[in-house]
Structure 1
Amino acid sequence: MSGGATEIYFYHLEQRSLDDVLPNLLERSLERGWRAVVQAASEERIEALNTLLWTYREESFLPHGTAREGKPEAHPVYLTTGEDNPNGARVRFLVDGAALADASGYDRVVFIFDGRDDAAVAKAREDWQAAKARGYAVSYWQQDDAGRWQKKA
């Protein structure tokens, strides 16, 4: 990572799971006109997210794709385990401890971590410190009792 105009957000999951939160965050990104990349640490998680985005709501789905479908530029949301950005995304979501070497090509990078997992919290702290040291604008978001995001730092 190298500093710049990129905003780095840390979303601390406590009240809800990734499966509950990620579709809404992706919807909000698409509403802004942003394409998104979701980077996970394993192919198994990518497959689970792929299924989730087709079925998370009965009345709708999120348009997305993976390397298996090809034509990444056609997908507003792209799921990957790599650091590539084949759909020209402006926002990148990192889940399950996925790492990104360079965040400078994005308007926003969002780390989502499970607050009930001590290792995930420790990794998020390391990522926070690294992002701050590189000069990024960093913010920390935590869920309140109703599951709404509150900016804490």
Structure 2
Amino acid sequence: MDVLFYHLTETTLEEALPPLVEKCLERGWRVAIQTGSEERRDALDSRLWTYSEESFVPHGTDREPHAARQPVLITTGAENLNNADVRFFVDGVEPGSLDGYQRAGFLFDGHDMAQVEAARAQWRAMKAAGHTVTYWQQGPDRRWTKKA
């Protein structure tokens, strides 16, 4: 399985995540986003509704009914409630089993040393588990550049 690490250096998570989710939806993939807190879950929920006037990201959260029907589900739990193909982990969340996913993504704030250290540990764990791991970092133009 492909595991991608996204090192945020120029934008916030709230700015970087929506375009990544949109690319997944364009490929026909269902998405789960696992956050470290209910507050972050709710903030991302609001952000996905308002981040762009030109696009719409259909989504819901694990606190609402019909979570299983959501093409994008923001959750604080490890369960794959919406049968997602891709799972994003934010806030240094430790992943549970990645069985059943086609791809996983870890987004971490390069200005938060705790998140950087958590990403390094997760990188080692994902490589040790035999996953294909890549590292992407934002450049000054806010575009992603593959570094490893």
Structure 1 length-normalised TM: 0.93
State how far apart, in whole Å, the 1-side matches of 2:127 and 2:98 are.
12
Report the counterpart of residue 66 of structure 2 in structure 1.
71
> Offset of 1:70 from its aligned partner?
1.2
Report the counterpart of residue 20 of structure 1 in structure 2.
15
Report the counterpart of residue 90 of structure 2 in structure 1.
95
RMSD over equivalenced CA pairs, Å: 0.9
State how far apart, in whole Å, the 2-side matches of 1:49 and 1:71 are.
18
Where does 1:3-152 land on structure 2 (aligned, <5 Å)?
6-152=1-147
> Offset of 1:82 from its aligned partner?
0.5
**Runs of 4+ more than 3 Å apart:** none
- CA deviations on 1:25-74 (whole Å, 9 max, x unpaired) are 00000000000000000000001011111111123321101123211222
Contact 2:62-2:76 within 8 A present in 1 as well: no
> Offset of 1:102 from its aligned partner?
1.1
> Offset of 1:104 from its aligned partner?
2.5
Which AA in structure 1 matches 2:66?
Answer: K
Which AA in structure 2 matches 1:102?
Answer: S
Q: Which runs of 5+ in 2 are unaligned?
A: none
State how far apart, in whole Å, the 1-side matches of 2:43 and 2:14 are.
9
How many equivalent pairs are there?
A: 148
SS at match of 1:12: strand
Which AA in structure 2 matches 1:103?
Answer: L
SS at match of 2:63: helix
Q: Which runs of 5+ in 1 are unaligned?
A: 1-5
Identity in percent: 52
Structure 2 length-normalised TM: 0.96
Which AA in structure 1 matches 2:38?
Answer: E
State how far apart, in whole Å, the 2-side matches of 1:70 and 1:111 are.
27
Which AA in structure 1 matches 2:107?
Answer: I
State how far apart, in whole Å, the 2-side matches of 1:73 and 1:52 are.
21
